[in-house]
Amino acid sequence: MHKETLNFQTETKELLNLMIHSIYTHKEIFLRELISNASDALDKLKFKALTDQNILKNDNEFKIEIFINKEKNTITIKDNGIGMTHEEVVSNIGTIAKSGSREFTQALKEAKNNNNDLSVIGQFGVGFYSSFMVADKITLKTKSPDSDTGVKWVSTGEGSFTIEDTKQSHRGTEIILHLREEENKEDSNAEYLEEYKIKELIQKYSDYVRYPILLEVTKTIEDEETKEKVETVELEKINSQTPLWKKSKTKITEEEYNEFYQGKFHDWTDPLKTIHFKVEGNLDYAALLYIPSKTPMDFYSKEFEKGLQLYSKNVFIMEKCKELIPDHFRFIKGLVDSPDLSLNISREILQQNRQLAIIAKNLEKKIQKELEKMLESDRDEYIKFWNEFGINIKGGIYEEFGRYKDTLKNLLIFNTTKDDNMTTLMEYKDRMPEDQKHIYYVSGDNIKSLEKMPQLEGIKAKGWEVLYFTDKIDEFAIKSLGSFENLTFKSIHEANEELSSEDDKKMLDEVEKDNSDLFTKIKEALGDKVSKVRPTTRLKSSAVCLVSGTDGISFEMEKVMAEIPGDNPMGALKAERILEINSNHELFKALIKVNETHPENLSKYAEVLYSQALLIEGFQLEDPIEFANNMTELLIKASKN
């Protein structure tokens, strides 16, 4: 039959030249593109067959077949889908990107520089031509059920193509890739002639294509008669076809969910929670999300990437779509599949994609709702979650200028001085006595040490409950939150006047007035180390403590700032230090006596008391040797009296 040679458009030549002669990091997607095209062709045939069963002609076992020929250096992808007529081949294959080819060329150049060509190839309707990244010649054979003849199309991508009608009886499309032999071994296409590699690519990108993908494989079997090993060739189904997330939840067992999670996300433990749902309407999508039971090993490393796998019509698009999940839920593993998303949506377009933004917002609401439900109905499970990922919820409260604080505050739980179980802020509020006007907290490294804090003595005597803050992030989150149900947060480390009754305040004024000389001398001995020295009633059994001012940073924040590495100006920030002495303690009486009988020793006592208060707060002493010497000297003098 007559063969015709046609030239590509000028813009198309430039595009092809760019694809053929450039080196791309994701050449392997050529197979994904061809399989997706084959799947689309089968979809179109099935749709047409709804009104015209005759077009099937007893060929109704829809499938995609792949053949490897090492001798000829070819890969063949074949389907029994809708096929194409002569005119359709010229229109669909002969002309690349009818509109936007210049834009695509520019996008592809930029993608190459940004190592992001995976998302761009095919975005403008040129997915078929990604094959030229691995092939120096493409032969396409196709037949439409509407045509009596087949069509053969051949091109080397160098500016022209040939097209001719052929005698072909079977419906569908067959694409033969003649692989390019690369001079650079690192860029070799030879691996695409290996069965294992093709299997790997199918399972990576096309595992959930709804039609069976059959690969011709060579197997060694034992001859039943001779018992000799012989090689046989057969078609092996590679893809799993039906995605778990497309099935009804009622037909999926917990074991199936767990097995899918472990295999898909490489975790040997079962997930703590599975969230599976579908949305249909203006925007269709299915989501299968998991909350891990353990923090991933690399979760806090720089290498960790958040994000969900993204699919479109069961075809893999992207491994980590970070736009789908907010940072405070970055522990979530899972995937989203939406037929309304473009197969080759680029990273740049993702950031501006309205549909994706809607999906992301809905996912956020769904995860929030599931966590609230777990908190309400299964506190033990929620505590397991909190112990692993609670720090992310706290971080989400102050990140992005508190954008999420109004919702995330309901997920917070803390240990307290009263309840053995962890409590929510609302539960704390509901237990507050009428005379308590604030939510109180104490910060430190662990509950065991916090339970011994001197500042707790007075507030516990009032019967007021105190939250334990043991994460360095806790105070930052609470400062961002500001208040809860019109109740402000107060640290027991701060100079809180409301802890003293009016009678206490009068008594303290009298003590301070009567012993002004003592307090002045202690302040002078300590100099700028403290802003004030004063008596207190907040202490019951303890002799001394440090409290911070109400306007500056807290002691805990000071410690966090000091730990920031590098050239860190924040590390120089210090919390205001106020030394409080229990006026009812025997030590206070001893200080009065020292001031009267041996005032020269008072500065040593002041340094020791201040050092003790620092140690109680978890600070390191600037000069531990001096502290030890002062203690020794005072002990020796005490033994002589």
Those residues whose C-beta lies under 8 Å from the C-beta of residue 464, and which sit 6 or more positions away, are: 432, 433, 436, 440
Residue (of 573, 575, 578, 572) closest to 526 by Cα position = 578
Highest mean pLDDT among 7-21, 80-94, 371-385, 559-573: 371-385
Strands (DSSP E) found in 339-486:
413-416, 423-424, 439-443, 466-469, 483-484
Angle between helices 379-398 and 474-481 (to 10 degrees): 70
Query: What is the arithmetic mean of pLDDT over 381-401?
Result: 94
Query: What is the arithmetic mean of pLDDT over 373-402?
Result: 95
pLDDT at 639: 75
Q: Give the helix/strand (H/E) hosting 141.
A: strand 135-143
> Would you state the structure tokens that stand for residue 403, as one six-digit string?
């954008």
Calpha distance 548→491 (Å, rounded): 9
Spell out the domain ranges in the chain.
3-237, 244-379, 389-498, 503-548+575-640
Query: At 410, is the secondary structure helix, strand, or coil?
Result: helix
* 550/413: higher pLDDT: 413
Instruction: Identify the architecture of domain 503-548+575-640 in CATH.
Output: Up-down Bundle (1.20)
Label residue 133 exposed, middle or buried (CB < 10 Å: 0-12, 13-18, 19+).
buried
Query: At 213, is the secondary structure helix, strand, or coil?
Result: strand
Distances (CA, A) of 559 to 44, 51, 226, 400: 65, 74, 79, 23
Kindly tell me the sign of the dihedral angle through the C-alpha atoms of 262, 265, 269, 273: negative
Fold classification of 244-379 is: Ribosomal Protein S5; domain 2 (3.30.230)
Those residues whose C-beta lies under 8 Å from the C-beta of residue 16, and which sit 6 or more positions away, are: 8, 96, 129, 132, 157, 158, 159
Paired residues of 335 in beta bridges: 288, 309
Is the confidence at residue 76, as pLDDT, over 70? yes
Is the confidence at residue 196, as pLDDT, over 50? yes
Distances (CA, A) of 166 to 6, 79, 91, 142, 153: 17, 18, 18, 9, 10
Cβ atoms of residues 35 and 314 within 8 Å? no
Is the confidence at residue 505, as pLDDT, over 60? yes
> Would you state the structure tokens that stand for residue 176, as one six-digit string?
């033969």
How many CB atoms lie under 10 A from the CB of residue 298?
Answer: 10
How many CB atoms lie under 10 A from the CB of residue 163?
Answer: 20
Calpha distance 520→124 (Å, rounded): 80
Residue (of 628, 441, 617) closest to 530 by Cα position = 617
Query: What is the arithmetic mean of pLDDT over 452-460?
Result: 92
Paired residues of 3 in beta bridges: 164
Strand 333-337 versus strand 64-69 pairing type: unpaired
Paired residues of 446 in beta bridges: none
Highest mean pLDDT among 3-17, 250-264, 338-352, 380-394: 380-394
pLDDT at 23: 45
> Would you state the structure tokens that stand for residue 586, as one six-digit string?
């025997």
Paired residues of 487 in beta bridges: 484
Label residue 640 exposed, middle or buried (CB < 10 Å: 0-12, 13-18, 19+).
exposed
pLDDT at 121: 45
Rounded mean pLDDT of the chain? 88
Query: What is the arithmetic mean of pLDDT over 49-57?
Result: 88
Q: Top-level CATH class of 389-498?
A: alpha beta
Is the confidence at residue 372, as pLDDT, over 90? yes
Calpha distance 167→600 (Å, rounded): 115
DSSP assignment of 551-563:
SS--HHHHHHHHH
Calpha distance 381→377 (Å, rounded): 9
pLDDT-above-70 percentage for the chain: 89
Calpha distance 468→283 (Å, rounded): 44
Cβ atoms of residues 289 and 363 within 8 Å? yes
Span 464-486, pLDDT tens digits? 999 999 999 999 999 999 999 99
Span 109-126, pLDDT tens digits? 665 555 544 444 444 345
Paired residues of 141 in beta bridges: 152, 174
Residue (of 377, 455, 447, 379) closest to 418 by Cα position = 447
Would you say domain 3-237 falls under CATH 3.30.230.70? no
pLDDT band at 227 (very low <50, low <70, confident <90, very high): confident
Q: Is 503-548+575-640 in the same CATH topology as 389-498?
A: no
Which of 5-9's residues contact partners 24+ apart within 8 Å by CB, and which partners? Answer: 5/160, 5/161, 5/162, 6/90, 6/94, 6/160, 6/161, 6/162, 6/163, 7/159, 7/160, 8/94, 8/96, 8/159, 8/160, 8/161, 9/95, 9/96, 9/101
Is the confidence at residue 20, as pLDDT, over 70? no
Cα 12–chain centre separation: 40
Tokens 């516990």 belong to which residue?
A: 460
Q: Of the given ranges (198-202, 208-212, 220-224), which has the lowest mean pLDDT?
A: 220-224
